[in-house]
A and B are shown apart, each in its own frame.
Chain A
Amino acid sequence: DGGITQSPKYLFRKEGQNVTLSCEQNLNHDAMYWYRQDPGQGLRLIYYSQIVNDFQKGDIAEGYSVSREKKESFPLTVTSAQKNPTAFYLCASIAGGTDTQYFGPGTRLTVL
Chain B
Amino acid sequence: RKEVEQDPGPFNVPEGATVAFNCTYSNSASQSFFWYRQDCRKEPKLLMSVYSSGNEDGRFTAQLNRASQYISLLIRDSKLSDSATYLCVVNYNFNKFYFGSGTKLNVKP
Residues of chain A at the chain B interface (Cβ within 8 Å): 31, 33, 35, 40-45, 48, 50, 58, 88, 90, 94, 99-106, 108
A104 to B42, CA, bound (A): 9
B46 to chain A, nearest CB (A): 6
B101 touches A41 (CB 8 A): yes
Identify whether the interface residues of A are mostly helix, strand, loop, or mixed: strand
Alpha-carbon gap, A99 to B98, bound state (A): 13
A99 — which chain B residues lie within 8 A by C-beta? 31-32, 91, 95
Residues on B with beta carbons closer than 8 Å to the beta carbon of A43: 44, 87, 99
Q: Is the interface of B mostly helix, strand, loop or mixed?
A: strand
Chain B 1-18 interface residues, beta-carbon cutoff 8 Å to A? 4, 8
The interface size of chain B toward A, counting residues with CB under 8 Å, comes to 23
How many whole Å from A66's CB to the nearest CB in chain B?
15
Q: Pick the residue among B41, B49, B87 that contacts A100 (CB under 8 A).
A: B49
B57: chain A residues at CB < 8 Å are none
